[in-house]
Structure formats: C-alpha cells, structure tokens
Chain A
Amino acid sequence: MSGLWHKLALEPVTAVLMLPLAAAALLLLLPGYRLGARLNVAMALATFLAALGLLLQRPAVGGYLFVDDLNVVFVVLATFVGFTTSAFSASYIAHELSIGRLSPRYLRFYHAMYQILMFAMNLALLANNIGLMWVAIELATLTTVAMVGIYRTHEALEAAWKYFILGSVGIALALFGTILVYVAARPVVGEGQDAMVWTTLIDQAARFSPELMNVAFIFLMLGYGTKVGLAPLHAWLPDAHAEGPTPISAVLSGLLLNVALYAVLRFKMLLATNPAAIAPGPLMMTMGLISVVFAAFMLFRRRDIKRLFAYSSIEHMGIVTFAFGIGGALANFAGLLHMSMHSLTKSAIFFAVGHIAQAKGTQRLGAIRGLTESHPVLGWGLVLGVVAIAGLPPLGIFMSEFLIVSSTFARAPWLAIVLGLGLLLALGALMLRLSELAFGHPTGSTAPVKASYLPLYAHLALVLVAGLYLPQSLVTWLQSVARLLG
C-alpha cells in the first residue's frame, strides 16, 4: 500500500487517472450520501492537485500516455472545474434528496458515474494513442448519457435517448475517421501499435496519403464535432443540458465539449503538417461561424433557463472552433483563452442556475423574476456570470472575444462582420433575458435556499482577474501552446 502511495506521489500521470477510478469503486460500495458527497469532493481535489503536479514534472512519452504543453492546459482546467463542480454538486444533491427527486441508491450510482466521467476525460486528454482517445471519449459519452437520464422523467428519458443516439452516431463516424488515419499511416510507419501513436504520427504525417487524410479529417470533424455541439449537429445538446442534474450540465458545458474539441485539434495538427492535404481551417471556420449565428438567433426564443445557457454554450464553442480554424499565433492564443474563460464562466452560471431552479421550483424563464431582490447573493452572481458570458468588459471573455474579432479583421474582414453580428445578437438576447430574470418585482418563492456560493464566486473571481490582468508567465506559456497548434 505504501508503495502505491509512493508511486502516486511520484507519478502525477498515474495519479490523475487512478484516483478517479479508485474513487468510483469506493463510491459504488460506500453507503450514505453524505459520506459519498464528501469523498467525491475530496477525491476531485486530490485529482486536481495531481494535475498541478503535471506542471512540475512530466513523464517520458509513452505508447499510450503522454503529456505536452497542449494537453496540460486542458487537464488542469478539467480537474479544476471537476473539483469545484463536485463541491457545488454536494449542496445541490442534498436539496434534490430532500424533495425526493433522487433516492440515496441513485446517488451512489451518480457519484460513481461522476468519477468515471472524470477518469474518462483525463484519459482522453492524456492519451497518446488515437484509438485509446476514442475509447475514452466513448466512455465519457456513455457515463453522461446515464447521468442525463437519472431523473427518469419523460423529458429526461427523451433527452438521454436523443443524446445517446446522436452521440453514438458521432462517435461511430469518429471511429471510422480514426481507422482511416491508421490506414493512411500504415504504409509509412509500419503495421501495428506505432501507427496509432500520436507522437509518431505527427513526425511522419507529411508522408501520409493526403487524399486519405482528407476523408479521415472530414469524418473526424463531423464525429467529434457532434460532441462539441457544433451546428447543425447540436440537437442533443440543449435537451441534455436542460433535463439532467445541473452539476452535469456544468460539467458537460465546461469540460466535455472541450475534450471533444481537443480531439479535433489533435487531428487538425496532423493535417497541418501535410502540405498536400486540404487546409482544415476553412471547415472549422464554417462550422464555427454557423454555430455562432444560429445559436445567437435561437437564444431569443428560449423559455427554459437551462436551455438558454445551453444555446449560449453552442455559441461559445462555435467561437472557439472558429478561432482555431483561423489559426495563427494570435487567434490560437485567443481561442485557448476563450475556451478556458468559457469553461469557468459557464460552469459558474450553471452553479447559480441550479440553485435558482431549486429555490423557485421551476426552470421556466417566465416564472423567474426579480432574483436580485429575492435571492441577492445568487441573483448578483447570475448577473455577473451573464455579463461575463455576454462578453462585456472588464471580464475575461471580453478580452478573448476582442482578440478573436481583431485577428479576424486582419485575416478575413468579411467573416469578422458576420462574427461580430452573431456576438451582438447573443449579447442582446442575454441582456434581454437577464433584465427579466434579475430585476423587477420578484415572483415565485422567496424562501432562502441552502446554497454553496464559494464555487460560483471563485470562478467569477478568476474570470474577473483574467480580464484585468494575466500574469506574464501564463501569457508566454499560452503563446507557446498557440505556436504548437500552428
């Protein structure tokens, strides 16, 4: 046992993967939801600390796992949001249990699934083997399907079914793309394991058959793009966000979409080294831009508070995909920054929304009014979050959106106009909804709700600080990652 702890302490990679897995096994066995919720938080914190360890010490590149500048960003972000969400989840589920929406038996399952999801996401991010990455993303999909359906209401079942069908179609297309990459790599790299190792592939990708890589990328883009929630493949996303438990909405928006985007980025990097292949940029730009404009229009007609923010996630994933599609040091930097800011802000918004829905007993936008009066701490938290997500200064998202729009103006002015239009429309829709939600005469229950404000305000504080001042070391680091992305 002491040998194991020694190994975990020495090797952050093992710890980042094994801690969630061990936690899942424990949580499945342990009775009592209080203990389960606490253990969930503790293990998520331990995983986050282990992920920080990756910053200090990197293992050698292996056949299955590796750590580089790019995936460290994603892993640290994922484990941090995973930790804060588990803290939010602890107070959220206590309320769900007290009103009888969840039973203790389901909670055990829920906590175990939460940790398996963390494991799957970390595995997908750290995988050096494109087959392993696919397996991990499929595992993450299946666990979230199970969690979206956990309330077992009509709506939850329909949402889970839709998510399952669309998610597995996407994942199937991605597997076909992965097989095609292997077929393209085999004549150059040789048969077997090596032809699926990403670090080997990137070294030799220039000599792969460009036609095959083109077809492969289209499958991968459509497949993993479904999981990113890009229009027109987004249909599962609003339902899954609206009908599942709110902590899962926070993790879906804040993390799982990023993981899928990470997979797209890895393959984009492969294609970029092959001069004869198509440029992956325009495809990503088109899908990103369609998502932004589409989601901006859809924001106006929402009647459900969680659906509203789900469409906002589609919009922001569109912006990030567009930024990476534009490429170049500045746009990639802005894309990375935007992705991190969106994860933090959107999960903070869902933390607030979860407690608001519990306090008011409804998710209907029309039934929630005057939050700043009835629940000032939550209400102002939501105001701050929405102001941030809408891209108003001085918060972090303003800065990243500003960088994306300005680098687009330099490269493709016409597209910048379309993008700007989408951003303004979304801003208008969100402000319209926010003024109804937060101000005016309060409706519904004004009873105080037992909520944990710490995760919410910790995220918002980080977003505010990032908007005002980014430490030079962080900027240099993100710039080096941006160069890596090409």
Chain B
Amino acid sequence: MDRHAFDVAHMLAGGLVLVSFMLLYQDRMFALLNVFAVHALVLSASIAWQAYIQGAEHLYVPAAIALLLKAVIIPIALRRIVIRLDIHRSIETVVGVGPTLFAGIALVALSMVVMLKATGASIDPLAREDLAFALSVVLLGLLMMVMRRNAVSQIVGFMSMENGLLLAATGAKGMPLVVEISIAFSVLVAFIVIGVFLFRIRERFDTVDVAALDSFRGERR
C-alpha cells in the first residue's frame, strides 16, 4: 500500500475527530444539525476510501447508507422536529464551552495513548491509527451526550458515537459485512424509537428538555 493511501485515510479519520469537536461547541440547534450532516459526510467519504484501498466493494454499502441516511434524511427530519417543537433558539449545556473542549482534548489524548500502546506492532498501522481516531470520536460523542440537557442534541451525540463505531468497524480490515449492515440498521431502528419518544414527549410536556423530565422522578413522589 502506498503512502498516499495512508495519508488520505488519516486525513479523513482525523477530520472526523475535528468535526466531533465542532459538534461540542455548537449552541444553536440548526447549526448543530448542519455540523452533524458534515460529520456524516466525512464518515461516508472515509468509509468509501477504505472500500477503495482495501478493494472491498461491500464497504460502499455502509458508505452510501451514511451519506443518504445520516447526512441527508436524519438531519432534515430532526430539523422538522425542531421547527415543529419550536426549540431552535439555543441549547442548554451543563457546563461552559471552555471546560467541555478541555475535557474533549483530554479524551482524545487518552484514546491515543491507550490505543497506540495497546496495538503495538501486531497489526497494520492503518487499522491501528484508525482505531485511535475512532475511539476519540466515540468518546467525544459520549461527552456530548453527557454535556447536553436537550433531547435532540443527545440524539446527535449518540449518532456521532455510532459514526465513530462505524469508522472502527470499517478500519478493521475484512470485518464481516453482517456487522456493518446491522450497525446501520440498528441506527435506523434507534432513530425510529427515538422519534416515537420525541413524539410522545411532545404530546405530554411540550418540551424536549430532558431536565424537565427529571422533576417527575419516581422517588420523589
């Protein structure tokens, strides 16, 4: 494999980490959804590149799914939900942008240290660095879910985490197709479930702020 192939793969995977950071500091709902669309776009390009350099045609399927579903359909659907619920003004965060970004940097450093150390010389360097980037994206998605109170942005955090998993799965050479399709499929199912929830939450509370749900804790009756 030539040097060029490596560089592009790393650029795309690194780009995904970068876009994950951009997700962290968005404070407008529409901007958040737009950045998520970019996230999915970069993921799709990254998977397609892996399909090309590994010569694995079946990987074009998850790339297409990421492009269609996550970069186009889901952002549009979420945008409509946001408009219908009239929650596009701003996003409530648990802590400020500064500490969140520092925590993000710490998580990326952690995943680099852990993965590069754990994967020694035993596997090929492409998969190795891909895994490190993928873990960063997963952890940043996790961070986002923790730092946001709003249900829609938690969904975005969850989906960016799934994107990280997809990056890891496609970076692991020759991983069976079953798994990739099922990942994409489960995201779809998850989205349906969430959609149902949002609909119901809307029905009952007129808000999708998860903090509003906290007041109904069973223990405090």
Contacts and interface: CB of A to CB of B under 8 A. Distances in A.
Contacts of A283: none
A186 B145 contact: no
Given A142-B189, A161-B151, A209-B120, A169 B218 contact: no
B154 A165 contact: yes
B131 interface: yes
B221 interface: yes
Interface residues of A, number: 52
Contacts of B123: 183-184, 186-187, 209, 212
Given A131-B178, A152-B200, A168-B158, A176 B168 contact: yes
Nearest to B128: A183
Contacts of A172: 138, 142, 158, 161-162, 165
A478 interface: no
Interface in A212-253: 212, 214-215, 239, 242-243
Interface string A142-182: 10011001001011011111001100110011011001101
Given A131-B176, A186-B172, A211 B119 contact: yes
Interface stretch (A188-196, A198-206, A460-468): A188-196
B213 interface: yes
Contacts of B131: 179-180, 183
Contact of B218 (A149, A165, A214, A239): A239
A304 B179 CA distance: 41
Contact of B219 (A165, A176, A303): A303
Counting chain A CB atoms within 10 Å of each CB, the highest count among B123, B172, B178, B213 belongs to B172
Contacts of B158: 165, 168-169, 172
Contacts of A134: 179
A153 B173 CA distance: 46
Contacts, number: 135
A107 to B, nearest CB: 17
B169 interface: yes
Counting chain B CB atoms within 10 Å of each CB, the highest count among A182, A187, A304 belongs to A182
A207 B145 CA distance: 37
A242 B221 CA distance: 13
A161 B194 CA distance: 9
B143 to A, nearest CB: 11
Interface residues of B, number: 52
A209 B197 contact: no
Contacts of B179: 131, 134-135, 196
B176 A192 contact: yes
B118 interface: yes
Contact of A303 (B122, B168, B221): B221
B186 A154 contact: no
A196 B169 CA distance: 13
Interface of B (DSSP majority class): helix
Interface in A253-274: none
A411 interface: no
Nearest to A159: B218
A132 interface: yes
A455 B205 CA distance: 39
Contacts of B200: 149, 152, 157
Contacts of B203: 152
Contacts of B120: 209, 211
B210 A161 contact: yes
B176 A193 contact: yes
A307 B218 contact: yes
A154 B213 contact: yes
Counting chain A CB atoms within 10 Å of each CB, the highest count among B127, B179, B201, B205 belongs to B179
Contacts of A145: 193
Contacts of B145: 165, 169
A364 interface: yes
A149 B186 contact: no
B162 A182 contact: no
B214 A158 contact: yes
A251 to B, nearest CB: 18
Contact of B174 (A184, A186, A211, A212): A186
Given A161-B213, A186-B172, A212 B194 contact: no
A409 B189 CA distance: 47
Interface string B181-214: 0110010011001101100110111000010011
Nearest to A194: B176
Contact of B197 (A154, A164, A169, A186): A164
B92 to A, nearest CB: 16
Contact of A179 (B162, B172, B197, B201): B172
Contacts of B172: 179, 182-183, 186
Given A186-B174, A215-B114, A307-B219, A176 B135 contact: yes
B216 interface: yes
B115 interface: yes
A155 B201 CA distance: 11
9 contacts: A129-B178, A135-B182, A155-B218, A159-B218, A172-B158, A175-B183, A180-B131, A211-B117, A214-B118
Which 9 A-B residue pairs are closest in the complex by CB-CB distance? A191-B174, A154-B216, A131-B179, A158-B213, A209-B122, A211-B118, A215-B118, A135-B182, A179-B168
Given A135-B179, A165-B154, 20 more contacts: A131-B179, A142-B186, A149-B197, A152-B203, A169-B145, A169-B161, A173-B138, A176-B168, A183-B119, A187-B123, A193-B176, A209-B119, A211-B120, A212-B123, A215-B114, A303-B219, A304-B218, A304-B219, A304-B221, A307-B219
